[in-house]
Amino acid sequence: MGGLLLLEYGLAASVVAVGWSGYVVSLLGDYGLVIPPELTGPYGHEIMRNGAAVLGADGSPVTALFNLPAFLVCGALTGLLVIGVSESAKVNNIIVAIKLVVIIAFIVIVGGYVIQHFDTLKANWDPFIPAATGKEGEFGWGGILRAA
C-alpha cells in the first residue's frame, strides 16, 4: 500500500508541478523573462507556436528537452518540506490567507461596482433563469443542474 501511495503522490505532484510551470512561465513572460520553449515542456514534445510547429535551422521540428520550471517548483517544495513540516504548514497558511484576501477583495470591489451601477446591470438579470428551449439541459432548471 505504501508503494502505491508513493506512486500516486508522485503522479499527482508531477501533474501539479506541470500546471504551476505554465503559470510560472506566463508570469515571468509578463515581466520580460522568457524561458526557452525547449525548457518548458515534456521531453520529445514538438513545440508549437501559433498553431504551427517551430522548425529548427535544419527544417526539422524543435522538440522540448526538459520542463525546467516544473523541476524547480518540485525542488523548492521538497526543500521546504526538508526544512520542516511546521515551516511548510506556515507557508501553506500564508498561501491560503493570500487566496482568501484576493477572494474577499474581489467580492468587495465587484460588489461595490454592482451596487453603484445596479440600474444598468439589472437588465442582465432579466430573466434570471431563461426558459428551457426543449433541448436537454439547455436553459431552465435542467440547464442549471447540468452546469452544476
| Count: domains in the chain | 1
- Indicate the average pLDDT of the chain: 87
Q: Please report whether residue 115 resides in a domain.
A: no
CA–CA separation, 72 and 69 (whole Å): 5
Q: Please report whether residue 120 resides in a domain.
A: no
Q: Please report whether residue 50 resides in a domain.
A: yes
State the distance between the two ends of the chain, measured CA to CA, in whole angstroms: 35
Q: Please report whether residue 55 resides in a domain.
A: yes
User: Most confidently modeled of 2-6, 76-80, 105-109, 117-121?
Assistant: 105-109
CB 64 within 8 A of CB 45: yes
Q: Which three cell numbers stand for residue 5?
A: 501511495
Give per-residue pLDDT as tens, 26-80: 899 899 998 888 888 888 888 887 777 878 778 788 888 888 998 988 888 888 8
Q: Please report whether residue 140 resides in a domain.
A: no
What pLDDT score does 86 carry?
A: 86
CA–CA separation, 25 and 71 (whole Å): 13
Which residues touch 92 (CB under 8 Å, ≥6 apart)?
A: none
Q: Please report whether residue 119 resides in a domain.
A: no
The DSSP letter of residue 40 is B
Domain of residue 63, residue span? 1-83
